[in-house]
């Protein structure tokens, strides 16, 4: 089957896994996403997943706590999400490997780039959790970093509540304009809060395209891989 992309990094926010509740894990949603990942994997696309942890803890939002401690707590949240996603995929007989940026040998492999690439080449889904292993860096930055390391063709940025990049919050401003194509520099110059500036700069420096789409319809992942124009593409024109 002709696919537009051979190796993808799918970035799923923690909130996307929690459904409408905003926290915890919604098993129905995680199963739906897993079914689509399986479909994409079955057609020969190499899939790496970076999971966020905002459904459990958001490091940057803690006011009284030391930021470093708060970020480490957020990293643990991403590992919980990674384990849940691994379990859902393995129930569908998808060979999966969970790798963590912080060593936890009893529950997951430590992140080793060559090992991750080898797993992908063997048709396994690789889940990257634990963020980058460093405080002060978001999981968006992790997605950009891992995509550069494994030479991914694109980052698919799954968002909850929006189906692309808009000039303003479409849920609050009905007159906001949806962009279909943007340059990296537009994200930085216009202050579009779709991804933090560190992650955007990293993608710009390494020329990794980013495609922003809505995760409410997980089938969009397969459509994008097959070449459908969905969401907003961010790249060097």
CATH of the domain at 109: 3.40.1160.10
Residue 1, domain member (yes or no): no
Q: Give the Å distances, CA to CA, from 197 to 133, 139, 229.
A: 19, 12, 25
- pLDDT of res. 170: 83
Residue 162, domain member (yes or no): yes
Q: What is the pLDDT of residues 45-103, one digit of tens each?
A: 999 999 999 999 887 777 889 999 999 999 999 999 999 999 999 999 999 999 999 99
Whether the Cβ atoms of residue 143 and residue 199 lie closer than 8 Å to each other: yes
Query: What global pTM score does this model have?
Result: 0.94
Residue 2, domain member (yes or no): no
Q: What is the pLDDT of residues 88-142, one digit of tens each?
A: 999 999 999 999 999 999 999 999 999 999 999 999 999 999 999 999 999 999 9
- Mean pLDDT over 147-156 rounds to 97
Residue 26 confidence class, pLDDT cut points 50, 70, 90: very high
User: What proportion of the chain, given as a percentage, has pLDDT over 90?
Assistant: 75
200 alpha-carbon distance from chain centroid = 14
Q: Name the burial class of residue 14, with classes exposed (0-12), middle (13-18) and buried (19+) by CB atoms within 10 angstroms of its CB.
A: buried
- pLDDT of res. 101: 97
Residue 225: is its pLDDT beyond 80? yes
Residue 211, domain member (yes or no): yes
Q: Which phi and psi (to 5°) does residue 40 adopt?
A: -70, -40
Residue 28: is its pLDDT beyond 80? yes
Q: Domain range spanning residue 170?
A: 7-234
Whether the Cβ atoms of residue 114 and residue 126 lie closer than 8 Å to each other: no
Which DSSP string corresponds to 136-171? T--HHHHHHHHHHHTT-SEEEEEESS-SSEESS-TT
| Domains held by the chain: number | 1
Nearest CA to 124 out of 94, 151, 164, 93 is that of 94
């Amino acid at each position: 089957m002709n696919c537009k992309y051979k190796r993808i990094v799918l970035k799923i926010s923690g909130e996307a896994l929690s459904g409408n509740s905003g926290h915890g894990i919604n098993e129905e949603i995680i199963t739906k996403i897993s079914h689509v990942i399986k479909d994409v994997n079955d057609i020969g696309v190499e899939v790496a997943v970076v999971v966020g942890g905002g459904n459990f803890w958001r490091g940057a939002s803690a006011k009284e706590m030391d930021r470093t401690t708060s970020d480490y707590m957020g990293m643990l949240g991403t590992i919980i999400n990674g384990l849940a996603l691994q379990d859902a995929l393995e129930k569908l007989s998808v060979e999966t490997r969970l790798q963590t940026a912080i060593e936890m040998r009893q529950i997951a492999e430590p992140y080793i780039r060559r090992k991750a690439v080898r797993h992908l080449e063997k048709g396994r889904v690789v889940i990257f959790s634990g963020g980058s292993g460093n405080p002060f860096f978001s999981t968006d930055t992790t997605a950009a970093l891992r995509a550069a390391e494994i030479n991914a063709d694109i980052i698919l940025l799954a968002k909850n509540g929006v189906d692309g990049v808009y000039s303003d919050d479409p849920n609050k401003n009905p007159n906001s304009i949806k962009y279909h194509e943007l340059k990296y520099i537009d994200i930085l110059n216009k202050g579009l809060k779709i991804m933090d500036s560190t992650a955007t700069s990293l993608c710009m420096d390494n020329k990794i395209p980013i495609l922003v789409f809505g995760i409410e319809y997980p089938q969009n992942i397969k459509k994008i891989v097959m070449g459908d124009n969905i969401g907003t593409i961010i790249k060097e024109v």
